[in-house]
Every structure is written in structure tokens, then in C-alpha cells.
Amino acid sequence: MIDVNDLIALVRNYNPRTNADLIAAAYDYGRKMHAGQKRYSGESYFSHPVAVAAILTEQRLDDATIVTALLHDTIEDTKSTYAEISRQFGEEIAELVDGVTKLTNLQLSSSETKQSENFRKLFIAMSRDLRVILVKLADRLHNMRTIKSLPEEKQVRKARETMDIFAPLAGRMGMQWMREELEDLSFRVLNAEARSSIIRRFITLQRETGDVINKITADIRTELEKAQVQAEVFGRAKKPYSIWRKMQEKQLAFSRLSDIYGFRIICQSEADCYRVLGAIHQRWRAVPGRFKDYISQPKSNGYRSIHTTVSGRDGKRVEVQIRTRQMHEVAESGVAAHWSYRDGERARNPFAVDPAKWIATLTERFDSGEDHDEFLENVKLDMYSDQVFCFTPKGDVIQLPKGATPIDFAYSIHTRIGNSTVGAKVDGIRVPLWTRLKNGQSVEIVTAAGQRPQATWIDIVVTGRAKSAIRRSLREEDRERFVKLGQELARVAFEHIGRKATDKAMRIAAKTLALPDESEVFARLGSAELTASEVIQAIYPELATQPAEVVDANRPVIGLTADQSYRRANCCQAVPGERIVGITYRGQGVVVHAIDCPALAEFEQQPNRWIDLRWHSGAHAPVHTVSLNMTIANDAGVLGRICSLIGQQKANISDLTFVDRKPDFYRLIVEVDLRDAEHLHMVLTALEAESDVAQVERYRDLNRKP
């Protein structure tokens, strides 16, 4: 374990003005609080907070963060309290220690829904002071470095949690070195065999080809000397997990992987970066599509660098990163560079991002209260995405993940623009909305008043912001449609009992049914979550009747003799609730017609064949097929929405036939299984309220035989 003097010396290396007494006091306090506690390995527990503090000194962080590292487990694991830490070390440090404690208490490796809830809390904690997550990341890094002492089950759980949450979070914050180490340490636990295999292949490759890294490094230095540019060159092989992930993504064997080496060139000025780029591209052929200029278009976490991949010695692909010393410091520390010290002063790195602004851009889109699974999906989308940079017609730069579409572009400008998008132009040419955007393109969004997002957009967009806004709009649109439908259903139902569905009546229904307001009553009526009879009973319980007996689906009509069979006439398809009459056929039983069926005219001179029938008054099963003649818009997703809408009314589609297909509409006959006339009315009303349904009516065909 590092002693207190060595720890203070590590801090003094970058901050000679450090408050050594404060660090010594925190060291002494933490050691006393953790006295007698042991880690799984048998070491003194306090060796862990000291190691976490040492990791943070590598990032040259301020005294408050170092002291927080020494005390980060005291509130959780000892008798120490917030008040005591505040009294001895100040309010700032107490707040930081409390923040780390709350993060530690989040059970991030539980079920998916719980995980997403805690991810939201994690971002809220970060938004208060980003140093909390810096301490937590260092805490997790040391735990992963010493994970072998844990039980196997706990190793796997911690490694999975690290791979899913903490490693990508470190990457999102710009701390790429920490992300790579966390991934590799997790990979060692989760797939030790694959990791060992890659390392063995690396050793074999080095034995066959010699020290490729030193050779290529020497080649680059030679080119820099020719260009008369002073710069440092570093080379390395990529981490085992990075190689394994590339093998999985591209489905390549190790022998076919080419860009497994990376080189970094640290220049003295931004102008030198571009001179180096020119020298590299003159000497080696650039690989198309693998050039990214993050100097002219920095990442949101402050990262700046030029990335290019070239075919180097013996045709091997090598990735080259070119940046200045200040850019390199931000690339190593990410957002943490904001707190870095040099020679006792806060480092004034012009490329360091203000953490408050950074966390605001990261969390602003997640304030809308969408469900937790959507939140987790959106966070992961933003964390793992690569980037493209496109321009508005005015020249403003819009940063988007790789694979983004014009719809993503529209929503990144404003939700209102995204919702009203009807088309897009890329570099002046009209393109489909599903077009994947490329770096440097100019995008113009065409909007129209009254346009609403389409359900199919969910599968087109890639940004969390766009997905969230589209889902929110669709929910609101469905609600408006259900409210209108519910109002119509309520009006008809109340007319049947001689009452009116007034606002006052519906407010009483809402109160009785424990719903927020009358709008919610209408919405649930329209979505078939409530029935009209339930609403009426809530207001007029005296009108409630005993539950109707369930009618035998094989004998739903009254008036037949025991030996008479029946079937419904195909021409009129009578349903319970409609007046009916039976016509007898020799050897064929009785055919049931609606009383107003035109086909009955041919039997007027045969009164002896008529039988007076009526439907049972009980509850009928939805087995009575009715044909609906519909005209709908010929557009993506419309038919699916129509089928879903019918299903929402608890009706089943038994058959569907297209009658006519035109460029802008379809006409079709839909066979729907219903309970009764009221059920039919509900389905027709729901379909009439759908904007993509131009016409719907009951289909009666006199040419169809009984």
C-alpha cells in the first residue's frame, strides 16, 4: 500500500501548491475508519481507497478529488457520517463523497428495467458534479485490476456491468485509455479463452514478422525528418478485446485482420498536424473511408485529432492519429482535463470542455420522461456511435452518429422540425428520408404544417433523440384519436339509455373509476380498455343489470325447433342486436336474414317458409363474421395500423381480399369476427376516425348465396 508521503509526492509532481495537510488528514481519517476491514484478497481494505487516489493522480486532478477518493467508502462501509466529513473536510468534499456513495448503492447489474432506471440516476448524479463519476471510474478500474480475488459468480457480474456501463461511459467522457483497460479486464473474465487465443496469435505473428511496431515507427520518423517536422511517434498493438470485437463485427479470422497496429504522432502545432498528414499520405496509400478530421470538427467531449488509416509496410494497414500536445492531454483525460493541474495552477487547456455544458448536452434529451427501456436504449446509442458531420443550408455543423438519416438531422435541429418533416435535399438533390448521410454533406429539410411522424420512422432513425421524439408524438397522436373515438362511443351509449354524455357526467365517471379526468375516460373507451357499459354503471349504478348469461355459439337464436339447424345468410350477415327472420329450405335447415335484407323480396309469396326469430339477449362470442368494404391510403405501414386498430377493438380478422390496387390507394374487403351490432358500430367508428381510411362501410353482396 502506498504510504501518505508517497501519495502526497505523486500530487506534488503536478501541483506543488497542494494542500498536503488536507490529504494527510484524509489519509489518517480513512485508515482509522477502515481499521480491521479486509478485502477478499486478505489485504487491508484501506489499500483500495489509496490505490483509487493514486489512479486519479495520473490524471493530475485537484485536491478535492484526491481526498474524495481516500474517503469514498467511509459513509457506506464505516460509522462515518456526512455531517462528520463536512465538519472535518468541508462541504464540497462531503458532497462528493456522498455522491460516490449514492452511485455505489445503485444496483446497476440487476434486471434490464432496473438497470435503465439506475442509468438515469447515474446521469443525474453526474450532472451535479462530474468528479463523482471520475472517482467511481477509478474505483471500478482498481476493482477490475484486483478482481481475481472475488468469487467467480461475482467476477462475472462485475465484468458484465463494467463492459455494459462503465467502459462505454469512460469512452464517452473521452478517457479512451480507461475504456480500453476496463474492456480488456472484463474480457479476461468473460471470455478468457478468446483473449488467450488472440495473445497467442500475436506472439506467433511477432515471431514470424519481427518487431513490426519498431519498424513502422522508424519509417514514420524518416518521413517526418524529410518534411522537417518535429514530432513524437508512438506505436502499439491494439488491445485483445478491440481485436476480438473487430473479428466479430467483420466476421474475419485473425489472419485476415490488417489494422491491428496503431500509431500516434504528437506535434507542436495544429499546422504541423496537417503537414504530417500530407507526409504520411505521400509516403503510403490512404485507405478510402477511413479518414476523420476531429481537429476541424471536434467531438462533444473536446476530443481533437486527425485519424487516418494507410497501407504501410508489407501492405499492412495501420491506423495513425495526429494531434498536438494539448489535444493529446484532452484525449488522455477527456472531460477530466477541466480539473487538471500543472505547476500548481489549473491547466488552461483551450480544448478542455466545460463539464457542466457537456453533461447538459448529454442529458437534455432524456428529460421527457419516456419509459426506462427507451432511456437505456438512447444512452447506449449515443455512447457507442461513431460520427458524421453535416451542414445546414446556413453552414452550421450538425454532429450525428454514423448511419444517421435526414430525419435524425431534422430532429437534431429541433423536435418541431423533425415532427413536420416531409422531405429532404442532400447537396441540392431530393433524396428519400431513409438515405444514410455522409461526412461533409449539406442537408436541407423540407417541412409541412400538419405533418406528423410516421410509425415506420422508428426503424429508419438511429439517434436516441429522434427515436424518443417519434415515439412521444405517436403516443400523443394515438391518444387524440382514441379520445375522439371514445367521445363518439360514449355519445351513442348514453343515447341508448336516454341520457347525454355531458362533461359533468364524464367527470363523475372519471372520479368513480379513479381516473385523472374525463379525457382519460374517453381515451380508454376509444382504446377498448373500458367499455361503455362500465362508464354508464360508474355514473348510474341503478341502471346496472345482472351479467348476461353467455350464449351458446351453436344455438344463438330463439324460435327454432330442436331438430332445426340454422346458418346466417351470406348476403346480409345479420349479427346479434339486429332484427332477424328465418327462411326454411328443404333439407337445408333455416337461413337467418336481417329483417331489411333485399333478398327477402323473392320469398314474399311464400309466407309458409318464414319463421319469426330473435337473438338470445345474453353475451355473444365474437364469432359472427361481417364483411367490411374499405378504401385506405397506399402508404408504408398503413395496412398494419388498420389491422392493429381492429385488434384493439377486440375483433378478429378472419380474411382479407384486395379488390383494387392504385398508386395512391387500396380497396379491400376485410372479414371481421364480431359479437353483436354494438361491437360492429365500435369497429366502424374506430376505422372512420383513422385518417388513412378514406371510406369504410358494411359490405353486402346479394350475389352471394345464402
User: For residue 601, with 0-12 CB atoms within 10 Å meaning exposed, 13-18 middle and 19 or more buried, which class applies?
Assistant: exposed
Three-state secondary structure call for residue 203: helix
| Candidate list 58, 76, 92, 444, residue with the active-site label | 76
Are residues 124 and 170 in contact, defined by beta-carbon separation less than 8 angstroms? no
Do the bridges between strand 397-401 and strand 387-391 make them parallel or antiparallel, or are there none, so unpaired? antiparallel
User: For residue 282, with 0-12 CB atoms within 10 Å meaning exposed, 13-18 middle and 19 or more buried, which class applies?
Assistant: exposed
Element (H, E) at 86: helix 82-89
Which of 188, 127, 121 minimizes the C-alpha distance to 160? 188
Concerning whether 76 is annotated as a catalytic residue, the answer is yes
- Cell 478468457, located at residue: 192
Distance CA 201, CA 195 (A): 10
Concerning whether 77 is annotated as a catalytic residue, the answer is yes
User: For residue 6, with 0-12 CB atoms within 10 Å meaning exposed, 13-18 middle and 19 or more buried, which class applies?
Assistant: exposed
- CA distances to 35, 229, 306, 352, 382 from 328, in Å: 40, 17, 11, 11, 23
Three-state secondary structure call for residue 544: coil
Which of 122, 99, 162 minimizes the C-alpha distance to 363? 122
Phi, psi of 38, deg, nearest 5: -125, 150
Which of 178, 140, 131 minimizes the C-alpha distance to 160? 140
Which of 378, 443, 381, 439 minimizes the C-alpha distance to 406? 443
Distance CA 286, CA 311 (A): 7
Distance CA 61, CA 70 (A): 13
- CA distances to 117, 368, 581, 706 from 588, in Å: 65, 64, 16, 11
Distance CA 620, CA 626 (A): 15
- DSSP character for 619? B
Three-state secondary structure call for residue 610: strand
Element (H, E) at 654: strand 652-661
Which of 694, 123, 106 minimizes the C-alpha distance to 378? 123
Alpha helices in 527-648 (DSSP H): 532-539, 638-648
Partners of 670 in the β-ladder = 628, 656
| Candidate list 43, 77, 444, 692, residue with the active-site label | 77
Angle between helices 192-209 and 176-190 (to 10 degrees): 110
Do the bridges between strand 589-594 and strand 566-568 make them parallel or antiparallel, or are there none, so unpaired? parallel
Partners of 322 in the β-ladder = 265, 306
The grid cell for 92 is 464540497
The grid cell for 339 is 480539473
The Cβ-side half-sphere exposure at 219, using a 13 Å CA radius, reads 20
Do the bridges between strand 292-293 and strand 306-311 make them parallel or antiparallel, or are there none, so unpaired? antiparallel
C-alpha torsion angle, residues 560, 563, 568, 570 (rounded to 10): -140
C-alpha torsion angle, residues 689, 693, 696, 699 (rounded to 10): -140
Q: Which amino acid is at 296?
A: S
CA 304 from chain centre, in angstroms, equals: 27
Distance CA 384, CA 392 (A): 25
- Cell 408504408, located at residue: 636
| Concatenated DSSP letters of 307-345 | EEEEE-GGG-EEEEEEEEHHHHHHHHHGGGGGG-EETTE
**Catalytic center residues:** 76-77
